[in-house]
């Protein structure tokens, strides 16, 4: 337990660092890059970042690895047919819910 005044100092440090790492590049980089290599690098960044963040974390995102795997496949299928973000996300949630209900009652 910490007292509230000390907590506020912690909060300031934590929020301050988190904000600075987000804010500085967005405020400092004001122009569009023309260099082909840099543009290509920045093109790939989101895909590389999302790839690392999704696999294998997706398999640990629900109550069981089986339900997560079924949700993953459901999402892949919907995404392959280029459904909207909300459709893909909610189909994955629905698939997980069904599998976990089955796991619970079977």
Partner 1 sequence: MSENNSFKMGLRDGIPIFLGYLSVSFAFGIFAVGSGLTIIEALLISMTNLTSAGQLAGVPIICSGGSFIELAAAQLIINLRYSLMSVSLSQKLGKSVRLIDRFLISFGNTDEIFAVSVSKRGTLGRKYFYGLILMPYIGWSGGTLLGAVAGNTLPEIVISALGIAIYGMFIAILVPAAKKHRATALCIITAALLGCAFKYIPGLNSISAGFVIIICAVPISLIFAAFAPISAEENDEKEAQENG
Number of residues located near partner 1, criterion CB under 8 A: 77
Contact string 62-81 vs partner 1 (x = CB under 8 A): xx---xx--xx--xx-xxx-
The answer to whether 33 touches 39, Cβ cutoff 8 Å, is yes
Rounded to the nearest whole angstrom, what is the least distance from the CB of residue 75 to partner 1 in the complex? 4
User: Angle at the Cα of 100 (from 50 to 105), degrees rounded to 5?
Assistant: 175
96 CB neighbour count, 10 Å cutoff = 23
| 85 is a site residue for partner 1 (CB under 8 A) | yes
Interactions with partner 1, residue window 25-44 (CB under 8 A): 25-27, 29-30, 32-33, 36-44
């Amino acid at each position: 337990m910490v007292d509230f005044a000390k907590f506020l100092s912690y909060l300031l440090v934590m929020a301050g660092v988190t904000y600075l790492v987000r804010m500085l590049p967005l405020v400092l980089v004001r122009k569009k890059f023309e260099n082909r290599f840099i543009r290509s690098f920045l093109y790939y960044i989101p895909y590389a970042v999302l790839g690392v963040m999704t696999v294998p974390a997706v398999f640990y995102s629900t109550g069981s690895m089986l339900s997560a795997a079924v949700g993953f496949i459901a999402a892949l299928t919907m995404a392959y047919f280029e459904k909207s973000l909300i459709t893909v996300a909610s189909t994955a949630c629905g698939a997980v819910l069904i599998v976990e209900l089955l796991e619970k009652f079977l």
